[in-house]
Structure 1
Amino acid sequence: MATDPIIQGAIMLLAFIMFFALKYISQQGLTKFRTKHRATLQTQRQLIQASHLLARARATTTKKSQSQSLAKSALTEADDVIAISPDDAAGHIVRALSLDLLGHHVAALKSFDTALSYPRAKSLSVGERADALVKRAEMKVAVNRRRRNDSAIEDLEEAVRLGAGTDAARLFRSLGECYEFKGMNEKAQWAFSEALKT
């Protein structure tokens, strides 16, 4: 009989300990979730803003100074995205496109290399990766066709293997031009005929 109040007291004490432990653990978990979720939302907002600025910069063809200003703003937003989420390829791709628009082609190419490297490439869908490979190949050819043609062909062939992308005609046309430059006329003819089919 004397043990009943002791057992009841022990059960009550255990219940209070469990209550406070659960409350503390859930608050810690929610805080981590909120912080991560907040960072993800901020990254997405800045990425959308950077993409919007980049699109406006490309559309502004009459005033070069305005286009350059918009591209610099897009670059700043992309750098902020990279600072928050360095393993997300999207920020690196927007950065590369902004640098390309500003005329910094070698730096843009390095940003594309970073975006398409592991682990960042995992954050891209198959279509996004194929489009990024095509754009990187076009940049390689623009920077130095003679030195980078083979590397551009590798990127374009990888994009063909992925079998996805938004502009298949552009992909095959670029591949045909690279084959033609290398003197691979049969492969060039095949690529150009594939471009016409799409």
Structure 2
Amino acid sequence: MATDIIIQTAILLLTVAIVFAVQYVPKQTLTKHRTDHRTTTQTQRHLSRATQLLRRAKSNPQKDQSQTLAKTAITEIEKALSLFPKDPTPYILKSLALDLLGHKGSALRSLDLALAFPRVKSLSEKERVEALVRRAELKLAVNKRRRIDSAVTDLEEAVKVSDKEGEIKTKAFCLLGVCYQLKGMREESRKAFVEALKLEPASTLARQGLERVSLS
């Protein structure tokens, strides 16, 4: 008798568990999917607004208006970050806005966050290369002497990662040429400028850099 009661109780519990799995769990999963989709949509909306504001800020010749637009862009970016802090894109956009405001140190730190693991895994090859080159530029602008080795590391990684020709890769080689020249690495500098010219024969920056190296 006691055994029958135990069996019946076990069957009842199993039935309840199956009903729960069939009815409740899918609803819970669907609710999570809807929440994630809504968060993603809101994040994209804020980032889209921020991108538009930054474009207007960069093209605006009036410094006070440009800075106002950049500050408004940061507000949108912060909203996106509050929704999805694991996304590297808001940090990249924030870096651009901070740079427009003249806060190069803060802009550099924001790029550091974008390129930190695991966020960096979400970047495409093009985005990663652009971020590395931009970070190298900021390192040289913030403290050329102290950060030149770190800038070289970023630039060497950028040209290694990118297997496509383009303006950003040409820029990376030109910056590498500048860095090598500052470090007294004349032959490496020359080779970097030559590589830049191979990618973009009309590059004034590469030609001028090569002339400087030849005269030094």
Residues 24-82 of structure 1: per-residue CA shift (max 9 Å, x gap): 2222111000001110111111111111111111111x211110011001111111111
8 Å CA contact retained: 2:158, 2:169: no
1:160, distance to aligned residue in structure 2 (A): 1.1
Gaps of 5+ in 2: 1-10, 200-216
Q: Which amino acid aligns with 1:137?
A: A
Question: Partner amino acid for 2:126?
Answer: G
Asked if 1 retains the 8 angstrom alpha-carbon contact of 2:57 and 2:67, the reply is yes
Residue equivalent to 1:120: 119
Aligned to 1:175: 176
User: Given the superposition, is the C-alpha separation of residues 17 and 115 from structure 1 closer, same or farther in structure 2, using an over 3 Å criterion?
Assistant: closer
Q: Is the 8 A contact 1:127 1:164 kept in 2?
A: no
Residue 59 (1) aligns with residue 21 (2): no
Corresponding residue of 2:41: 41
For normalisation by structure 1, the TM-score amounts to 0.87
Tell me the equivalent position of 1:4.
none
Q: Please list every run of 5 or more consecutive structure 1 residues that lacks an aligned counterpart in the other structure.
A: 1-9
Asked if residue 86 in structure 1 is aligned to residue 85 in structure 2, the reply is yes
**What secondary structure is seen at the aligned counterpart in 1 of 2:117?**
coil
Identity of aligned residues (%): 51
Distance change (3 Å), C-alpha of 1:164 and 1:114: farther
Residues 117-155 of structure 1: per-residue CA shift (max 9 Å, x gap): 111111101221111000000000011111111110000
Structure 2 contact 155–176 (Cα < 8 Å) conserved: yes
Contact 1:92 1:115 (C-alpha < 8 Å) held by counterparts = yes
CA distance in 2, matches of 1:162, 1:109: 21
Render the CA deviation track for 1:85-144: whole Å, top value 9, x for unaligned: 111110111111111110011111111111111111111012211110000000000111
With the length of structure 2 as denominator, give the TM-score of the two structures: 0.80
1:152–1:20 Cα change, 3 Å: closer
1:9-24 aligned within 5 A? 21-24=21-24
Q: 1:83: how far off?
A: 1.3
Q: What's the Cα RMSD here?
A: 1.8
- Residue 174 and residue 19 in structure 1: after superposition, are their counterparts in 2 closer, same or farther (change >3 A)? same
- Give the aligned partner of residue 134 of structure 2: 135
Q: 1:101 matched to which residue of 2?
A: 100
* Greater mean deviation of Cα atoms: 136-145 or 79-88: 79-88
Q: Which residue of 1 aligns with 2:30?
A: 30
Q: Look up the SS of the partner of 1:100 in the other structure.
A: helix
Are the equivalent residues in 2 in contact too, given 1:133–1:156 (CA < 8 A)? yes
CA distance in 2, matches of 1:17, 1:156: 57
Q: Taking structure 1 as reference, are residues 196 and 22 closer, same or farther at Cα in structure 2, changes over 3 Å only?
A: same
Q: What's 2:73 paired with?
A: 74
Whole-Å Cα distance in 2 between the matches of residues 150 and 17 of structure 1? 61
